[in-house]
Structure 1
């Protein structure tokens, strides 16, 4: 782990109070004084800033389309990519046991830590400083966002496809749940009420397994 003083390389912001940055980089495994509260605040701040950017950038898009675009920017996978670009894993403070397991490189932790850093910037320098930092770090992502329709998740696309044809929505059933708490794997089956065919898929969460199963079902429906 690298030790920082008052700034994070690539962030383009110098902290007046370096302790805010240190707290933002402290995972809960490090101890009771950690970044969870900052993460909560940062999640709201990045959502607000990105919403404002998209609102001004796309004056003709309806609410639903703007919501999908925002989700594409603030979702964990996107934030993790930004965090990797900042080499955030080199600065995250974690407990000794977690160091051995490579916890600091887990994408979910990197995304959460980045949200905490955004909150630290907000508390240290105010809303406009947070806007500057978030705008710069999300600029490329926002510039390359696909059409809002393409950002609909597989479950939503499958449901809309079925409903447009007067058919029942699909059913999802958990087939199995295995692994330790920190490394769960779920297998979910997706089936249609009016069709004997079903598809099963796995994922690290129920939602991810459902989405993967929906992809298989939708692919089948679109290619028969």
Structure 2
């Protein structure tokens, strides 16, 4: 369970809470800004709050293409350590990308992200 995003986020929240209790608001704010500023500075209005599947869908729909299809092509590992392999297919553009993740959703997101970087999508 130590690799689950929810467990990791709970741990980080606890650390920030401990810093707040020990050093006060300003100290917690300083630590949080130092950790997150590099990521926050890279956000753009176009991508703010949007995941790869949403961005891919918006690009395709803006050019009057259908939605990509996502298909689980393989599942590896024991039930508690499964790894999903998903293909994203955009038939009309001849785009097929593969994503791998600890969940189907994570694998779909990776496949969508790879699709966004293909020449076919960039040239729309």
TM-score past 0.5 threshold = yes
3-state SS of 1:168 partner? coil
In the other structure, the counterpart of 2:122 is: 222
Which whole-Å CA distance do the structure 1 matches of 2:37 and 2:99 have between them?
A: 32
Report deviation, 1:214: 0.9
Report deviation, 1:118: 4.2
In the other structure, the counterpart of 2:76 is: 178
3-state SS of 1:160 partner? helix
Q: Relative to 1, partners in 2 of residues 1:120 and 1:214: Cα closer, same or farther, differing over 3 Å? A: same
Residue segments in structure 1 that go unaligned for 5+ positions in a row: 1-28, 30-102
Greater RCO (CA < 8 Å, at least 6 residues apart): 1
In the other structure, the counterpart of 2:43 is: 147
Answer yes or no: is 1:163 the counterpart of 2:90.
no
In the other structure, the counterpart of 1:136 is: 30
In the other structure, the counterpart of 1:213 is: 111
Which whole-Å CA distance do the structure 1 matches of 2:88 and 2:81 have between them?
A: 23
Report deviation, 1:142: 4.4
Match of residue 114, structure 1, among 1, 6, 12: 12
Match of residue 191, structure 1, among 86, 89, 113: 89
Report deviation, 1:185: 0.5
Deviations 1:8-51 (A, max 9, x none): xxxxxxxxxxxxxxxxxxxxx8xxxxxxxxxxxxxxxxxxxxxx
Which whole-Å CA distance do the structure 2 matches of 1:142 and 1:113 have between them?
A: 16
Question: Over alpha carbons, which structure has the higher Rg?
Answer: 1
Which whole-Å CA distance do the structure 1 matches of 2:103 and 2:27 have between them?
A: 31
Report how many aligned residue pairs link the two structures: 116
CA RMSD of aligned residues (A): 3.1
Higher helix share: 1
TM-score (norm 2): 0.68
Match of residue 101, structure 2, among 203, 207, 219: 203
On the 8 A contact 2:47/2:55 being kept in 1, the answer is no
Which whole-Å CA distance do the structure 2 matches of 1:181 and 1:112 have between them?
A: 23
Deviations 1:97-132 (A, max 9, x none): xxxxxx5xx47444321223445677x68xxx4x44
Residue segments in structure 2 that go unaligned for 5+ positions in a row: none
Query: How does 1:3-82 map onto structure 2 within 5 Å?
Result: none
